[in-house]
Structure 1
Amino acid sequence: MEDATTLDNERWTLKWPHGVATVQALGGMLAPVRFELGAGRSVSPLHVAPWGDDPEWPGLLRALRGEWPCLPFGTTDAPPGLPEGFASKVADDEWRHGYSSNHMWRCVEQTAHTIKLRIDYPPESAIDYLERLVEAHPHAASLTVTLTVHVRHDVTLPFALHPTFAVPPEGVEVLACPYRAVHTYPVAIEPEFSQILRNRRFDSLTKLDTCEGSFDVSRLPLPQQTEELVQLEACQPPFVLRYSVDRAEVKLDWNTDDFPDAVLWISNGGRNYAPWASRNFALGVEPVSGFFDLGRVVTPSADHPLASRTGFAFTAGTPRIIRYRLSAAAY
């Protein structure tokens, strides 16, 4: 199959009385989205990477944006410096966040309120194909996404959704949702800039210890240049963000039977190389069945609180349907 950088990244748009939403072929990514809140007010909560759509960059980096599914989820190279008791393993393909994140989906149907996409996986993959339906609520500032997964044989894979939210210079409040604990990444994501203490458990997003104090990530952006990943154990959505300048609350809701946790990707200018160039500010809120983004390449120690997060079980001949919702309201 041709590389995504050589193909046209087609886009399809939904317009309804309460918003406008665009879906692109690459990754099936949803963004930008603008929700109309009434009285002339609106909010555009999904992030679009500052380099836009640049075919110089391969795979998902070409036009990184918004929300999309990742199957199998995660990186394809085990990071160096894993803690004692952790073991590395080899990923079964080269596609970070899965084949579907790095290749073009095709639109199979569009109506006034829906866009339906499909992508077929390579014949050697355990996954056969994915279908993705983006549906606008005709009477509300709300989008429902339905993902249907078809597999060729029974398989358990790390699996996540990848909603990525805008972090404007004026800030966003991370009201989040109830959770059991915050677990920090086992290594430094960006050794020059990542600061939260590694492989720790904390009680709150408001106090994540660093070598020089602590971070309160309930309001972004942070004053320090950094790049962090944490996993919220046992989330109880909806996950709520408040854009105070727009006087809007944005909610992400999902089924915890599908995704018991959420990985938060705090991108705060902490990647100084191209294409990031210290200019990417975003918050990924990634409902997940797995161990961070490491499930394909790392087995955590048996006593780690997330050691049981081995992935999502799929059964051949039984399509698995996952639904989740993104919405906004004025406050």
Structure 2
Amino acid sequence: MDQITFAAKGISVTLDLAVGHIAELRIEAGGRTLKPLHRAPWLGEPADRLPPNLPDGVVRLSGDFLCAPFSRSDVEEAPLHGWPANSGWDVMDSTATADGWRARFRLRRTVMGAVVEKTLTLRDHHPFLYQEHAFFGGAGAISVAHHAMTVMREGGRLAFSPKRLAATPADPLEPDPARGRYLLAYPGRSADLSRFPIAEGGTTDLRDYRAEQHREDFVTLVEADHGGPGWTAVARKAEADLVLVLKNPAELPVTMLWISNGGRDYAPWSGRHLGVLGIEDGRTAIGHAASIGDNWLKKEGVATAFDLGGHVAFRQVIGACPLAGGEPPEDVASESGRLRLALPDGSEHAIPFDSDFLRTD
């Protein structure tokens, strides 16, 4: 069995057990079926059409998955983003609850000696997937990140919980113009998301995802102190919906944006990986060794790894709702079983939400 699908009223999720990726999330809302997550265009193609030695996590790239570590596995040998994103998971439990469904999975491999479990929860009439990952035992420290991906046919607009700063690494993802292209300055930094430096001079608005800008970029957003959940909202233009990703900033203090819009010309990307936005909430720098050693985020007072040895857990939420007008909310707040969206026109929209799940208090 490569996949398992389960559902609650108005929502269903499919997990690819071969790599732990969410293969599909479907939400019934407003008489429509919303599909907020991305699937790579090469999924299902014959293996001989793909380059040899691709990590399984790239071969089966979809939806969202756990990275442990994030990026390079240069402490304990493993593929890019670690074994949780590249190897098999077993179903430990999958049962109906009083108000939905809950399923628990265990990674077949260990990470730094730790047993890793994934718990996915659906609630009736909630347009959200509630996720928890937990590490039991092990030794040393591990960096982690979710790797949620949405996709936009015609671009969209982004909004975020308050961020202290945005920064790019020293080098772009695709420095060779024969292989790809990028827009942002590397390294670059700004406290104003609407004015981030670009490579050719001037600035760009990180909140604007423009379909015509073919590029491959990566930027890290550091959460500000604001007392609420961390959130990213993506108003997808052509899809006429709003994708929401939420976290507890105390657990996952950074949100990394991977802008992958036809910016890679080599296989399997081949200029066809279009309109993709990775919303990668994490506790990490780039690479395992960097995360547990000295790095620029630690100098900013930001944690970049969890210490193993006991029980370590963190949570994240992904969902979507219909949206008219193409502009994301100005604010998102969790209160009394609802997620309240403050829209730019002054109106408010409330969505059923487990307000205790992220435990931000």
Do they superpose with TM above 0.5?
yes
Q: Which residue of 2 aligns with 1:45?
A: 36
Q: Which residue of 2 aligns with 1:290?
A: 284
Partners of 2:298 and 2:186 in 1: how far apart? 14
Amino acid at match of 1:195: L
Partners of 2:265 and 2:117 in 1: how far apart? 36
- Does 2:90 align with 1:106? yes
Which of 67, 70, 73 does residue 70 from structure 1 map onto? 67
Unaligned runs of 5+ in 2: 324-361
Q: Which residue of 2 aligns with 1:84?
A: none
Length, aligned pairs only: 302
CA displacement, residues 242-292 of structure 1 (integer Å, 9 cap, x when unaligned) = 12444322211111111111111111111111111111131111111122x
User: Is the CA contact (8 Å cut-off) linking 1:131 and 1:149 kept in structure 2?
Assistant: yes
SS of structure 2 residue aligned to 1:229: strand
* Structure 1 length-normalised TM: 0.83
Partners of 2:302 and 2:113 in 1: how far apart? 20
Mapping for residues 90-239 of structure 1, pairs under 5 Å:
90-112=74-96, 113-122=101-110, 125-153=111-139, 155-166=140-151, 168-191=152-175, 192=177, 193-212=181-200, 213-234=202-223, 237-239=230-232
Q: 1:19 to 1:305 in 2, by over 3 A?
A: closer
**How far has the Cα of 1:107 moved from its partner?**
1.5
Q: 1:63 to 1:129 in 2, by over 3 A?
A: same
Amino acid at match of 2:12: V
- Does 2:230 align with 1:261? no
SS of structure 1 residue aligned to 2:270: coil
Partners of 1:283 and 1:161 in 2: how far apart? 13
**How far has the Cα of 1:94 moved from its partner?**
3.5
Moved more, 43-52 or 14-23: 14-23
Partners of 1:160 and 1:174 in 2: how far apart? 20
User: Is the CA contact (8 Å cut-off) linking 1:195 and 1:226 kept in structure 2?
Assistant: yes
User: Is the CA contact (8 Å cut-off) linking 2:9 and 2:123 kept in structure 1?
Assistant: no
User: Is the CA contact (8 Å cut-off) linking 2:169 and 2:219 kept in structure 1?
Assistant: yes
CA displacement, residues 70-119 of structure 1 (integer Å, 9 cap, x when unaligned) = 1111124xxxxxxxxxxxxx543132111111111112222242222111
RCO higher in structure (CA 8 A, sep ≥6): 1
Q: Which residue of 2 aligns with 1:327?
A: 319
Amino acid at match of 2:164: R
Amino acid at match of 1:69: L
User: Is the CA contact (8 Å cut-off) linking 1:53 and 1:62 kept in structure 2?
Assistant: no
Which of 245, 250, 262 does residue 243 from structure 2 map onto? 250
Partners of 2:304 and 2:293 in 1: how far apart? 13
User: Is the CA contact (8 Å cut-off) linking 1:169 and 1:221 kept in structure 2?
Assistant: no
User: Is the CA contact (8 Å cut-off) linking 2:169 and 2:186 kept in structure 1?
Assistant: yes
Which of 21, 31, 35 does residue 23 from structure 2 map onto? 31
**How far has the Cα of 1:180 moved from its partner?**
0.7
RMSD: 2.3
Amino acid at match of 1:74: S
SS of structure 1 residue aligned to 2:57: helix
Partners of 1:270 and 1:246 in 2: how far apart? 22
User: Is the CA contact (8 Å cut-off) linking 1:12 and 1:115 kept in structure 2?
Assistant: no
**How far has the Cα of 1:330 moved from its partner?**
2.9
Amino acid at match of 1:73: F
Mapping for residues 299-318 of structure 1, pairs under 5 Å:
304=296, 306-307=298-299, 308-309=301-302, 311-316=304-309, 318=310
Q: 1:299 to 1:30 in 2, by over 3 A?
A: closer
